[in-house]
Structure 1
Amino acid sequence: MPVLKKVVKTFIVRALARYHSPTEVVAMVKETYGLDVSTSQVVTYNPKTFMGRSLSREFVDLFEAERKNFLECEQEIGISQRAVRLRELDDELQRAKKRQEPRWIIKTLEAAAKEVGAYWNAPSQQQASGPIVVFNAPQVPDGVDAQCNQLQSPAEGSGDA
């Protein structure tokens, strides 16, 4: 295990506080600093784990502050913004059209409709405008309606109240 400089340790603590997995952090450290670290070494910088229980107070405080900031600043995450999600869906739709993938086009359009609320909210926003009309319904013989009504209404004097 390489000995890490404070800058790398801080980077690891912040990444873990932002809910990156240890495996993701290993890849991030490799990409950013060119260092090979193990997942077990990374886990020691998470005070919420058993292996991180002996983390210095400085890094524990940094972890807690970074986690609190991360959870409070939802607006800084692009995907949490509706406009960003719609733009990504639009980009995906354009790629699907170029590749001529009708199934993917339909799925992307459906996802966009869900995002704007048209897909899920439209049925609940509709209001009944009158009685339901059924076309091509079978004809009911005379007298059957009266028999059905008698069966559906409780018998008088049955004691049900």
Structure 2
Amino acid sequence: MATLSNEVKAFMVQALACFDTPSQVAAAVREQFGIELTRQKCESYDPTKSAGRDLAKRWVTMFHDTRQRFRDDTADIPIANRAFRLRALGRMAERAENTKNLALAAQLMEQAAKETGGAYTNKQQVDLSSADGSMSPAAPTGVDAALVKALVDKLVD
């Protein structure tokens, strides 16, 4: 196999940094440059994999810079924004209602409710308050007072 040009190497490093799989990268290189590569060869340009542990420093730097930029730029992608998704769901639900497709409208409304309720996020809400609204722990229920006294007496002895 002939050596790869820096242009092809940079293409592979950037694609892998954007979370493309080695198979996807091999297909993209075939389409873009007309070069047939194995997925193993492509994986060797990913420094987060054991196959890429000996990757040149310039490619490692490019990989990490590209990955950081990719993660930071998701805010610029409209569909990554909840308000954008809700507006689109609203338009779709309205169109479904107008065409009398009530089942689809109901599904879209349910999806919008899940979206606003945080069902599509990895955030967790923990309610630490007790039933009466205070932060004090709930009183034990169904506790046998004689048993508790016997245990306390045994511990004291």
Q: Which residue of 1 aligns with 2:127?
A: none
Aligned-pair distance for 1:111? 1.0
Note the aligned Cα RMSD (angstroms). 3.6
Q: Could you tell me how far apart the structure 2 residues matched to 1:18 and 1:118 are? A: 26
% identity of equivalent residues = 31
Give the alignment of 1:65-76 within 5 angstroms.
Answer: 65-76=65-76
Change (3 A) 1:65 1:96: same
Q: Which residue of 1 aligns with 2:80?
A: 80
- Scaled by the length of structure 2, the TM-score of the pair is 0.60
Give the alignment of 1:21-100 within 5 angstroms.
Answer: 21-90=21-90, 93=93
Contact 1:2/1:37 (CA < 8 Å) preserved in 2? no
Higher Rg: 1
Aligned-pair distance for 1:18? 1.6
Q: Deviations 1:100-150 (Å, cap 9, x if unpaired)?
A: 76544432221122223499xxxxxxxxxxxxxxxxxxxxxxxxxxxxxxx
Q: Could you tell me how far apart the structure 2 residues matched to 1:37 and 1:112 are? A: 43
2:32 is aligned with what amino acid?
A: T
The answer to whether 1:18 aligns with 2:18 is: yes
1:44 is aligned with what amino acid?
A: S
- Scaled by the length of structure 1, the TM-score of the pair is 0.58
1:24 is aligned with what amino acid?
A: Q
Q: Could you tell me how far apart the structure 2 residues matched to 1:94 and 1:33 are? A: 45
Q: Could you tell me how far apart the structure 2 residues matched to 1:2 and 1:98 are? A: 60
2:48 is aligned with what amino acid?
A: K
Stretches of structure 1 that go unaligned for 5 or more consecutive residues are 120-151
